[in-house]
Structure 1
Amino acid sequence: MKIYTKTGDKGETSLFGGQRVKKTNIRIETYGTADELNSFIGLARSFGLTDQNETIAVQLQNDLFVLGADLATPPTKQAKIARIGQTHFEQLESFIDEVSAELAPLTNFLLPTGTQSASALHIARTVCRRAERICIEARQSEDISEDVIIYLNRLSDLLFVMARLENERSNIPETRWIAR
């Protein structure tokens, strides 16, 4: 199978089910941003995560493929694809609780810095927040599942505590934001 198809040469692509849309369509922007997020999680993994975060990151990358397919397929379309849902949120919340249990309580805003892996997770967190905003905007004109937005909201929180854990395990002190 060739990697190039030439079907997108005129600025269009296909949604699941074959509908052709412009590559600038907001639905395409939603799952393109989810793909970008997935890549930044991969970058964080390439720097070497703690075993705990590595296990979580692999699960997140797999979930983001489900999320991408969900975004590419309107919820009202009858399709045999996996969807993001309650079990995914519960898993994220469980991961958040598990990682947070190992961290000191947060009393200040923190600057997004630290190890390379922590910094990459912070970038992933900000891309996740952007993906969430784009999905919220897309829901105004597109049939986008609310569950996707809930998932992204929880995921950004998880990426934040994962970044904190990377720094904690590497004995890198957190840098507090100081208002001036």
Structure 2
Amino acid sequence: MSVADYMTPRLVVVSPKTTISVAVELMKKNAIHRLPVMAGNRMVGLITHGIIQRAMPSQATSLSVYELNYLLTKTTVDQIMETAVQTVAATAQLETAIATMRKNKIGVLPVMTGDQVVGIITNNDILDAFLNIAGYGQPGIVTRVVVHHDHVGVIFAIGKVLERVWIL
């Protein structure tokens, strides 16, 4: 299974000069937490809800609501975005995306075809893929086969056993 099979192809993006308040509003409106930052057709960064939270002053500050709102309307995405963005190829195996996300302790990967962003894959997309692969919610029987001594023909032999069971 490739990343393209489970990615979200509909992208909501922002430009580098988008204000944080507009980015937050886009995230709320689209029920998402991450936005690729695009300069024309080229991805130049990524802005996430977490990055925005870390960039905002602590609630313990003496800033008023008005001063905080002023900051949100004057700060632009390019001032706080992540520029060293991990990506994954659309043709990569789902396991590659999972390994990259785990290794880098991130929850999202922009999906690329060449140098073009064609989608985004998140933790939730991977959980959906797992449920799909496991057949969750579908009728039938899910089984696990452990092969202790792999050799040529073992899958064929398992298929023959399953064929006999199916006929019964």
Give the TM-score taking structure 1 as reference length. Answer: 0.26
Which of 1 and 2 has greater Rg?
Answer: 2
Higher helix share goes to which structure?
1
TM-score normalised by the chain length of structure 2: 0.27
| Greater fraction strand | 2
